[in-house]
């Protein structure tokens, strides 16, 4: 499997892009320091999702940033994406791994201590600890875990981890210092007036936090 860097992980949401094309926001974000991109499209048609995935994959290739597809195994296979991110109620991990093969990145959302313990029995490539804080961009999540939850989960987990949910410039440092390997953001970049600058500021915070 290709090496990957969880430090600044962008999850897309076209509804938050202030009317700008998704590929424009994503490319600016990657120029600013985003290290992974997850294409999340809950309402798109299969064709629209596939076309978007191919556009993003083409852009990201030149920056050596992996494209991760949220939930849709068929799209991940069809566009030969870098990997797949699944939640607790999505495709079973074992099935996803069998179909994608050992060379693809598979991430799994964990929403509780028990989820993290269960994930230790799977050879997933990373876990997304979700949600750290309450967020308006994803309303179907479990109760917020907080920084204490991040600390507990990263202590017991055998996998690299990224914090997800309500993360921005004001709390990014806390997530890393609590034990996560990276932060996952949506609106902090998607809705930023200057996505490149926002990504650069977040990356600086992450790097400083890791060096403390």
Of the residues 109, 130, 184, 198, which is catalytic?
109
157 carries an active-site annotation:
no
Of the residues 14, 40, 57, 104, which is catalytic?
40
Is 136 part of any known ligand binding site? yes
Is 58 part of any known ligand binding site? no
Of the residues 55, 112, 138, 200, which is catalytic?
138
What does DSSP assign to residue 73? H
72 carries an active-site annotation:
no
What does DSSP assign to residue 153? H
Report the distance separating Cα 71 and Cα 46, nearest Å.
Answer: 12
Is 90 part of any known ligand binding site? yes
Is 42 part of any known ligand binding site? yes
Residue 115 CA to chain centroid, in angstroms?
17
Is 155 part of any known ligand binding site? no
Is 130 part of any known ligand binding site? no
Is 70 part of any known ligand binding site? yes
Report the distance separating Cα 16 and Cα 20, nearest Å.
Answer: 9
Report the distance separating Cα 181 and Cα 163, nearest Å.
Answer: 8
The distance between the two most distant Cα atoms of the chain, rounded to a whole number of Å, is 46
138 carries an active-site annotation:
yes
Q: Are 14 and 51 in contact (CB under 8 A)?
A: no
Is 186 part of any known ligand binding site? yes
Binding positions for Mg(2+) are: 71, 90
Catalytic residues: 40, 109, 138
Binding positions are: 38-42, 70-71, 90, 109, 135-138, 166, 186-187
């Amino acid at each position: 499997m290709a090496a990957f860097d969880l430090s600044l992980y962008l999850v897309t949401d076209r509804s938050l892009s202030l009317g700008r094309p998704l590929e424009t926001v994503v490319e600016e974000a990657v120029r600013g320091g985003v290290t992974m991109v997850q294409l999340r499209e809950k309402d798109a048609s299969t064709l629209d999702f596939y076309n978007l995935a191919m556009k993003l994959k083409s852009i990201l290739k030149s920056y050596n940033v992996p494209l991760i597809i949220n939930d849709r195994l068929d799209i991940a296979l069809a566009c030969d994406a870098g990997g797949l991110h699944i939640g607790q109620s999505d495709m079973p991990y074992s099935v996803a791994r069998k179909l994608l093969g050992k060379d693809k990145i598979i991430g799994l959302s964990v929403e509780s201590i028990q989820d993290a313990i269960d994930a230790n029995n799977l050879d997933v490539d990373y876990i997304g600890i979700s949600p750290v804080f309450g967020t308006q961009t994803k309303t179907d999540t479990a109760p917020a875990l907080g920084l204490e939850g991040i600390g507990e989960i990263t202590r017991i987990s055998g996998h690299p981890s990224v914090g997800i949910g309500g993360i921005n410039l004001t709390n990014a440092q806390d997530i890393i210092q609590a034990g996560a390997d990276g932060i996952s953001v949506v609106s902090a970049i998607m809705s930023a007036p200057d996505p490149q600058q926002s990504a650069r500021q977040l990356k600086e915070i992450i790097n400083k936090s890791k060096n403390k």
